[in-house]
Amino acid sequence: MKWKASKISTMRTWALLLVMIGMGIMVFGTSGILMFGEVGKIIAAVFMVFGIISCFISMGMYFYIGMLSTSAPVLECPECGKNTKVLGTTDRCMYCHTILTWDPKQATEKPTDSGSEVPLQSQS
């Protein structure tokens, strides 16, 4: 499943899409001035307000994602070896999209170490 991404990356993608939609709405509304003359100014104002609301919602999403990102635990991905942030009990690696979990019941593969158990993350 190469198309699946981590939760943080997915939320950032939706926030970026919301910014682009808001900008598109504002540009589309501005074209109302050229097409409809005097009534187009009202159309442009309405679309401008909707576009700004969309951008403000996106800004709120980015703020929320940033707050989640600061408190997310970091672990090293067993596949690619890079540090990645995990939200919830299961998430995907931000780089190689490997499914990661904190819950041993949901893990599909047991480690093949010679009896030494190493914790996934050290709490500081």
Q: pTM above the 0.85 mark?
A: no
Distance, first Cα to last Cα, the chain: 33
What pLDDT shows up at residue 58?
95
Residue extents of the structural domains in the chain: 7-71, 73-108
What pLDDT shows up at residue 50?
95
What pLDDT shows up at residue 6?
84
What pLDDT shows up at residue 37?
81
Q: Which of 26, 7, 5 is nearest to 88 (CA)?
A: 7
Task: In whole angstroms, give the CA distance from residue 34 to residue 24.
Answer: 16
What pLDDT shows up at residue 92?
87
Q: Is 82 left (phi over 0), alpha (psi -120 to 50) or beta?
A: beta
At 64-78, the pLDDT tens digits run 999 988 888 888 888
Give me the tens of pLDDT residue by residue for the chain, a chain 124 residues long. Answer: 456 888 888 899 999 999 999 999 999 998 888 888 888 889 999 999 999 999 999 999 999 999 988 888 888 888 888 898 888 888 888 888 888 887 777 777 655 554 444 455 544 4
